[in-house]
Structure 1
Amino acid sequence: MSLHPTYTTRSSIAAANSLTPKRDMWAQILVVVSLISTVVINALANIVPFNGQTTGAISDSFPVYFVPAGYVFSIWSVIYVGLLAYAIYQARPSQRTNSLLRTLRWPFILGCIANSAWIFAWHYEIFPLTLILMLILLGTLIIQYTRLQIADRPDAVRLWSVHIPLRIYLGWITVATIANITILLYDLGWRGAPLNGPTWSAILIVIATFIGLFFALRLHDAAYTLVLVWAFVGIYIKFSNEPLVGYSALAAAITLALAAIVALRTNMVSPRHDANDLHHPLTSNQKIQ
């Protein structure tokens, strides 16, 4: 019997295994490059600005009731600092073959591409495309969030470098997706009939509140929930002269702030039962390391 097939198979496996670290290294580099590119594009969009208008000015040009006050968008600085911490953490040689980070890198890169493309679509007012890109970004974050949920409980460094930044990012993109939908519908000519704008805004606030309660009380995720609190306070401040919208946003902010406190207390009292343990049936030896 010839030994060549066995030799060839073993050689192929060895070659594939030797390529894996290189692929991981390139994925690490692409995470850093894609994040830096996204930050630069977002900054230039307002410095140049693209198509002669800033990102916020376009939002403010639509009389919709789910877009918070301008200062709320400063959360992007927090998001990008957190994502920079993530990019640096995953780029460390010691994390190159980490099985959890391997599952996060490509969705993250795709999310950065969607984020950057969204900026161009937004500034050139291609609003149907903006929603498609926003949903892609939201989808990549949900994938990453889900994979974090089935991972082993993180140490402090991984918690603050990976988990918290992605939780905050997902929280904000949840709000941004709802706002994007309202702006697209307005651009398409729909004014909410038979209901008016404030009523629809109140309904959306209620829906977002239930989403926040799920993350706070079921997943014990205070970071995600507090992002929604931040957004709802901004909606209240911007639309305090519109009672239905303002008071709905204020009630939502208070409700979710209390829920976030419950989530924090639960994690402190029962640290083993955090967002990574509560909702997945996997045992610890089945989880992603």
Structure 2
Amino acid sequence: MKTKNSDFVRQILVTVSLVVCIVGSMIGVGVFGGTPIAQAAGGALSADSTLLAPATPAFSIWSVVYTGLVAFTVWQWLPSQRSNPRQRALGWVVAGSMLLNAAWILSVQAGWLPVSVVVIVALLAVLVMAFLRYSRTRASSWVEAVVVDGTLGLYLGWTSVAVCANIAAALKAAGFSGFGLRPDVWSVAVLAVVAVVGIALAVKGHGRLALAAAIAWGLVWITVGRSADAPQSTPTAIAAAVAAVAVLGAAVIVRTRTTAAPVRVRGGRNG
């Protein structure tokens, strides 16, 4: 009975967190009297604020992520999912991520850029925790693979890029001079780290395509932004494009090998 009650509390918390997250997102796009994120905090997070800011169309991925979170919330209410070990491992974490999402939007609305960095780093950590948990097992159906693995993969992938843009914006607002190094040097170095992290996640997650696709999406729009809009930076644009190809390519290669591996093991003569 205690376990059943815990499952019900988890389902309720996920649902309430979704509502808070959606209300926060509405504030973040200017509804309910809020200021659009691109204009909040003095425009620190606009598409032309730093070299690591993705072009405006990149942020449309949030509509897909939010749709996925709604689907996740509905999915976890199905009778078959109430006591599902995957849901028990993920529900609390996903709820936490949605509350942090709303907290991030409100911190930006308030102009608290240093606080927004702390919140988005915490969000990234929570999403990595979710990734490690759902990567331990396979989804039981293609629907679960899309609703759970796909949604959380997109969420983590995009946040991995967004955290870099957020930190860059906060540093610029704080007057960080880069220790005398050119901004291009810093941006290329950060993008190299993103590529390494993306490849590592591809390996750890057995080639999760949604995760890699979201990282690549953000990186491609950094390429577009630095090629077409101010501040322009050819080194940054090239580095972002190379990183996008590297992350997506690694995921495809790992996934292909992972899919083929059981066949070689069962055959016993092909490895």
Which TM-score bucket, shorter chain as reference?
0.7 to 0.9
The corresponding residue for 2:18 is 35
* Paired residues of 2:48 and 2:55 also in contact (CA < 8 A): no
The corresponding residue for 1:165 is 151
Q: CA deviation at 1:44?
A: 2.6
Q: For the residues of structure 1 that align with 2:53 and 2:148, how far apart are their CA atoms?
A: 28
* Paired residues of 2:47 and 2:225 also in contact (CA < 8 A): no
Q: Tell me which amino acid in the other structure corresponds to 1:248.
A: A
Q: CA deviation at 1:48?
A: 3.3
Q: CA deviation at 1:259?
A: 2.4
Does structure 1 residue 242 correspond to structure 2 residue 224? Answer: no
Query: Segments of 4+ in structure 1 off by > 4 A?
Result: none
- CA offsets 1:150-181 (integer angstroms, 9 cap, x no match): 23553322211211111111111111111111
Does structure 1 residue 45 correspond to structure 2 residue 31? Answer: no
- CA offsets 1:200-247 (integer angstroms, 9 cap, x no match): 111111110111112234532222111111111101111114211111
Secondary structure of 2:181 counterpart: coil
* Paired residues of 2:47 and 2:53 also in contact (CA < 8 A): no
* Paired residues of 2:54 and 2:222 also in contact (CA < 8 A): yes
The corresponding residue for 2:256 is 265
Secondary structure of 2:76 counterpart: helix
Corresponding residue to 2:246 among 255, 269, 277: 255
Does structure 1 residue 55 correspond to structure 2 residue 41? Answer: no
Q: How does 1:176-255 map to 2 (within 5 A)?
A: 176-219=162-205, 220-240=207-227, 241-255=232-246
Stretch deviating more after TM superposition (60-69 or 35-44) = 60-69
Does structure 1 residue 98 correspond to structure 2 residue 84? Answer: yes
- CA offsets 1:15-72 (integer angstroms, 9 cap, x no match): xxx2331231121122122112211221133233656x31123312873111100000
| Shift in alpha-carbon separation, 1:153–1:92, aligned structure 2, 3 A | closer
Q: For the residues of structure 1 that align with 2:261 and 2:51, how far apart are their CA atoms?
A: 39
* Paired residues of 1:222 and 1:263 also in contact (CA < 8 A): no
* Paired residues of 2:37 and 2:46 also in contact (CA < 8 A): no
Q: Tell me which amino acid in the other structure corresponds to 2:221.
A: G
Q: CA deviation at 1:146?
A: 1.1
Secondary structure of 2:213 counterpart: helix
Query: TM-score, normalising length from structure 2?
Result: 0.86
The corresponding residue for 1:71 is 57
Q: For the residues of structure 2 that align with 1:143 and 1:180, how far apart are their CA atoms?
A: 21
Q: Percent identity?
A: 28
Q: For the residues of structure 1 that align with 2:72 and 2:263, how far apart are their CA atoms?
A: 23
* Paired residues of 1:42 and 1:119 also in contact (CA < 8 A): yes
Secondary structure of 2:38 counterpart: helix
Q: CA deviation at 1:269?
A: 2.9
* Paired residues of 2:139 and 2:149 also in contact (CA < 8 A): no
Q: CA deviation at 1:76?
A: 0.4
| Shift in alpha-carbon separation, 1:111–1:153, aligned structure 2, 3 A | closer
The corresponding residue for 1:281 is none
Q: For the residues of structure 1 that align with 2:107 and 2:246, how far apart are their CA atoms?
A: 35
Q: For the residues of structure 2 that align with 1:252 and 1:74, how far apart are their CA atoms?
A: 21
The corresponding residue for 2:103 is 117
Secondary structure of 2:51 counterpart: coil
| Structure whose alpha-carbon radius of gyration is higher | 1
Q: Tell me which amino acid in the other structure corresponds to 1:56.
A: A
Aligned residue-pair number? 255
Q: For the residues of structure 2 that align with 1:269 and 1:132, how far apart are their CA atoms?
A: 41
| Shift in alpha-carbon separation, 1:127–1:154, aligned structure 2, 3 A | same
Q: Tell me which amino acid in the other structure corresponds to 1:120.
A: L
Q: Tell me which amino acid in the other structure corresponds to 1:222.
A: L
Q: Tell me which amino acid in the other structure corresponds to 1:156.
A: W
Calculate the aligned-residue CA RMSD, in Å. Answer: 2.2
Secondary structure of 1:239 counterpart: helix
* Paired residues of 1:41 and 1:116 also in contact (CA < 8 A): yes
* Paired residues of 1:198 and 1:244 also in contact (CA < 8 A): yes
Query: TM-score, normalising length from structure 1?
Result: 0.81
